[in-house]
Each structure stands twice: as structure tokens, then as C-alpha cells.
A and B are shown apart, each in its own frame.
Chain A
């Protein structure tokens, strides 16, 4: 009786559970948040790649007669104070904004992850030195660090991304550090030591997979902060230079017209919001995918 039940169980589970027959991709699209977030991000990536080809106008062409027009069929998102078509600028801006966001997040996230995980694992003076330096950075507002760095290296888009990335390090280092502390005090870590795992193995095989899921979620949330920091730098004349259609820059340039012509802010703002939302939902889904405890599709 018991045997047969067991066998039945085994059969059904091995059918639905063999990792080779179901690819990672198939597993991914089973999670609805990955589907939704992925669609949003894919849409923006599509715009980033093909936007320049399908955009109706030239993003930098000025038009004295077309200043601050309502959204109409000719100008679906309206036009800005210099008579440029906002739809066109939003489409052109997708490429540059995604690029800034992704690069600066990657810099901040990777460095923060490495610092946090080593500080948390090593403890003692290594931890003290690393985390105190991070705290030192943390005491300054991110934007101030970014301004300082850009001023030091000279204003350019690359330097802006590096500066924004560095200003994000303390945040990610802190989060990683606290997660690492929690994980390394769990019994499985001690058990891994007891079976003779060396340092590298402990960090990369046992700690890292447990740390990545929460960090991915935090990282996807950070995208908006990165885009806005980059925009602020552009606004101060330290990042993307004026005619460049970067979303954050568009917000900064046009904020005076918010009462007169809200659409000049509305559409770039919506674009930022949707991208951030997409990254968030996708991040959430990927977390679910990476964390076997939350994986719903097994059994």
C-alpha cells in the first residue's frame, strides 16, 4: 500500500521534475512576474534598438512654431519648449537611459556585493576596514559623491556612469553585508565547514547562491535611483550634454513647464516609471526562480 503510493508519487514527480527536459527558459516564462516584467523590459529594449529608425522626427530639430503643443496626431506626446517632438525624444532616450542605468547599477552592485560578502565572511579587521570605509562613503549624500567624482574626472557620460555606480556601492555593500552575516551564522554554513569545504568553496558555492536572490531584488529597485542620479548630474551640466535626449535630463530641463504643459514631463516620467516597474517585476520573478524555496513549479 505504502509502496504503491510512493511509486505513484515518484513517477509523477520525475515526469515533471527532470531538469533536462525543461529548459531554464521554459521555467522562466512559467512565472507570471517574469513574463510581465520581461515583456516591459523587452519592449524598452526594442525601442532602444529600433527607436531611431521608427521615430517620426529628428530629436534635436528645433521648431519655433511648434513650441509646447498639446499631444495631437502629429505630435502624439506633444512637443517641448523648443518645439522638439517628445515622442521622438523619448524613443531616442531609451537607448541612452537604459545604458546609463544598467552600467551604473552593475558597477555599484558588483563592487558592493564583493565588498559586502568579503567583509561578512572574513569578520575581524577586514570587516572593520571595509565596512568603515563604506560607512564613510555612506555619510555623504550619493549625489555629492557623484558630483565630486565627475568634477574630478571631468564631465562625460562614461564618467557619469562610473560616478553614479560608485555612489551606489555603500548601499549594496551594506545590504550584502547584512545578508552575509545572517547566512554565515546559519547551521548549514557550519555544516559545510565541517565537511571540509575551503574558503573559496564556502563563499562561492554556499554563501553566494543564498545571497544573490535578495540582492537581485534590491538591485532592480536601484535602477530608478541610478537613472535619477544620472539625470541630476546632467541637470548640473556634468552628465549628458544638452541636446542628448536622456529621460532624466528631459525631466530636469522641462520642470519649469509643469503647470503650463504637463505632458513635457509626463511622458519621459512615465517612461522612467515603466522601466523601473519592469525591472522590479522582473527582479522579483528572477528571485523566485533562483530561490528553490519559492519555486512553485516543482511537484
Chain B
């Protein structure tokens, strides 16, 4: 269970702050985000749309679009080196090689005018010193691993000839070709139907087992998280509000936002004592815009436990029970 307890984190993010400047002025998309990723673990990052999950993922590879977006401060340490300080060449060598990413939209994330084969072997040829022929063999092996029928023929096809599920497998294969240490999967299954979704997730876990990759899984699907993640980071309005092991978070949420999220999940057995169906609970209100000035806890306006203190003072994230961190003053009063 605690397989990472003595391990050094492979990726460590400290006090990351990313700002975007738009027509309404500057806004912090993520603010003071810190977390660690340990070898071989699956870390899920959850939260609703616009809470900064994708921005966090993109900043790990320094893919934040400049000049609008900027990593203002923070540290992203990978194998002891700060990614934010790397020169361009080392950065190119890191991307797709040591750290790779699977994107949200499998339908459009492949270059439409290049064959699958060219796009896949390209990764190998420029990250590893191997010939075209060897790259091709390795690519075919990888396509077999992601269960593409007839990989040889697939290499000569163009993206539009493949279905969404197939393209997502290709994306996964591409991300895994160089045996990366860290795989960032940004909602890898949102564009797919449920059966394919399960297959893809199983596949990722299987490959993790085989290659020992650490996975950051970005999603808003809590059911998926419960199934495959080891640890969970819950984000709200650009900040981490709770972090802990999956079981801990699901059984004993220590932040009212997480609590609300879990309560709003539909269940098959949602009957009360009189065998009447319970209405699905919802959280009132909306995520605050990142452009509004905030004082106190960002969740306070929607929080059932909000006190006067929450509206004035911002709760800092702190460890409450071993490995379980939360950013709430009232954490003891939940449940």
C-alpha cells in the first residue's frame, strides 16, 4: 500500500503559479500548487472544468502558450533538475522521451497529413539513436501492445482512416514509445465511449505494470479515479484543496468540496430508510472566475460549512492525518 513511502519523488512540483494575461487583466490560472509524484504510482488530478488541471499538466512540459500565459514562479523538479530552468535543447530531449503526454482530443491530436507510421517512428528517431528500420520494428511492437490489429498496415494509414478509440491508442503508443518515466494523461478517455474507456484505462495500467511508468491522470470522472488511482489531488479554482490516498479521500473527505463532489455522484443503491429514492445532491453556485479578486477561501461562497473566518482568511493546505492534506479550517466538522 505505502509503496512509495521510502521513495524519492520522481517529479516534484513546488509553489507553482501560472498567470494568463487577457483583456480583463492578469489572472492566476493556478496558484501555489505543490505535489509530488512517486515512481510507479498513479496520481489522479480531479476537479471541475477550468480549475487548472490542464494548465498544471501543460506547465510540466512547459507547453503553456506564451506570451499570453506565463509560469510566474515555482519549481518543477524532475530527476533532481528544475524543468523550468532547462535550455531549449534539453527540453526537447525531455518531451516525449522522459515525460510524455496524452491529449484530450484523440480526433485532432494527430497530424492529418502524415501517416501513422511517420508520426510514430519520428519520435523514436529523434530521441534515440536508432535507424528507421529498428524504429519501425519497435513501433510495430508498441502497436501490438496497445492492441491495434494488423499494426503493419496501420503504419501506412492516415489518421482519418482510424476510429477515435484507435487514434487514442495510437496516441498512447506514441507517448509510450520511449519508455517515459512519467506519463501525463489529460482526460484520455473523455472523447471515447464507455467500453473503449475501460479498455484504454486497463491498457494504461497494464503498460504501467510492464514499464514502471508513473502516471498523472487528469480527469473529472470520479468513478475512474476510484478504480485506477493510488492517490488523488483535488483542485478547485486553481488551487489544491485536498490531497490523499484514494481510500482516504473517498471514505473520509476532509474538504467540503470533495465531500460535495462525492455526494453528487449518482449511485445505484441510493434509497433511504423508507426505500424511497434519494434526490441527487448538487452543489449550489459556480466556480468563481479567475479574473475576480478573491479574499479568503475560494470555496467559501458555496460552502455549507463556511464561517466568517473563511471569508476573510485563506486556509493554507496542511497535513491533517498522515499523507492526507487539506485546505480547510473546518475539516474536523465534515461528515
Query: Which residues on A are within 8 Å of B, measured CB to CB?
Result: 6, 10, 13-14, 17-19, 123-124, 186-188, 190-198, 201, 205-206, 209-210, 290-293, 298-299
In the complex, A186→B174 CA distance in Å?
18
- 0 or 1 for each of B112-126: is its CB under 8 Å from A? (1 = yes): 111100000011001
B-side contacts of A19, CB under 8 Å:
156
Q: How many residues on chain B are close to A (CB under 8 Å)? A: 37
Q: Is the CB of A195 within 8 A of B96?
A: yes
- 0 or 1 for each of B83-112: is its CB under 8 Å from A? (1 = yes): 000001000111111001101110011111
Q: Is the CB of A196 within 8 A of B126?
A: yes
- Listed by A's residue number, 11 A-B pairs whose Cβ atoms lie within 8 Å are A6-B150, A190-B63, A193-B61, A195-B174, A196-B92, A197-B92, A291-B113, A292-B112, A293-B160, A298-B158, A299-B161
B-side contacts of A6, CB under 8 Å:
149-150
Q: Is the CB of A123 within 8 A of B67?
A: yes
User: Top 8 closest A-B pairs, CB basis?
Assistant: A195-B96, A196-B95, A196-B96, A292-B158, A191-B109, A187-B109, A209-B113, A188-B111
A-side contacts of B275, CB under 8 Å:
none
Tell me if B171 is interfacial: C-beta within 8 Å of chain A: yes
In the complex, A205→B123 CA distance in Å?
13
B-side contacts of A205, CB under 8 Å:
114, 122
Q: A10-B150, A10-B153 are in contact. Are A293 and B111 (CB under 8 A)?
A: no
Tell me if B127 is interfacial: C-beta within 8 Å of chain A: yes
Q: A187-B105, A191-B171, A292-B160 are in contact. Are A196 and B149 (CB under 8 A)?
A: no
Quick one: closest B residue to A190, CB to CB? B63
Query: Which residues on B are within 8 Å of A, measured CB to CB?
Result: 61, 63, 67, 88, 92-97, 100-101, 103-105, 108-115, 122-123, 126-127, 149-150, 153, 156, 158, 160-161, 171, 174-175
B-side contacts of A192, CB under 8 Å:
111
Q: Report the tally of A-B residue pairs with Cβ distances under 8 A.
A: 89
A-side contacts of B63, CB under 8 Å:
190, 193-194
Our pick among B94, B150, B161 for the contact of A298 (Cβ within 8 Å) is B161
Q: Is the CB of B111 within 8 A of A198?
A: no
In the complex, A291→B234 CA distance in Å?
43
Q: Knowing that A194-B63, A195-B175, A209-B111 touch, tell me 8 more A-B residue pairs with CB under 8 angstroms.
A: A10-B150, A13-B153, A123-B67, A187-B103, A188-B108, A194-B103, A195-B123, A293-B160
Residue of A192, A194, A197, A198 with most partner-chain B CB within 10 A: A194
A-side contacts of B100, CB under 8 Å:
194-195
B-side contacts of A191, CB under 8 Å:
101, 103, 109-110, 171
Quick one: closest B residue to A293, CB to CB? B160
In the complex, A6→B166 CA distance in Å?
14
Q: A6-B149, A194-B61 are in contact. Are A209 and B114 (CB under 8 A)?
A: yes
Our pick among A10, A188, A193 for the contact of B112 (Cβ within 8 Å) is A188
Q: Is the CB of A292 within 8 A of B96?
A: no
In the complex, A19→B156 CA distance in Å?
9
Q: Tell me the minimal C-beta distance from B107 to chain A in angstroms.
A: 9
In the complex, A292→B63 CA distance in Å?
28
Q: Is the CB of A196 within 8 A of B112?
A: no
B-side contacts of A124, CB under 8 Å:
67
Our pick among A14, A190, A206 for the contact of B153 (Cβ within 8 Å) is A14
Q: A193-B63, A194-B61, A299-B161 are in contact. Are A210 and B123 (CB under 8 A)?
A: no
A-side contacts of B112, CB under 8 Å:
188, 210, 292-293
Q: Tell me the minimal C-beta distance from B71 to chain A in angstroms.
A: 16
B-side contacts of A197, CB under 8 Å:
92, 96, 122, 126
In the complex, A195→B99 CA distance in Å?
9
Q: Tell me the minimal C-beta distance from B100 to chain A in angstroms.
A: 7
Q: Is the CB of B95 within 8 A of A17?
A: no
Q: Is the CB of B101 within 8 A of A196?
A: no
A-side contacts of B97, CB under 8 Å:
196
In the complex, A191→B184 CA distance in Å?
12
B-side contacts of A206, CB under 8 Å:
111, 114
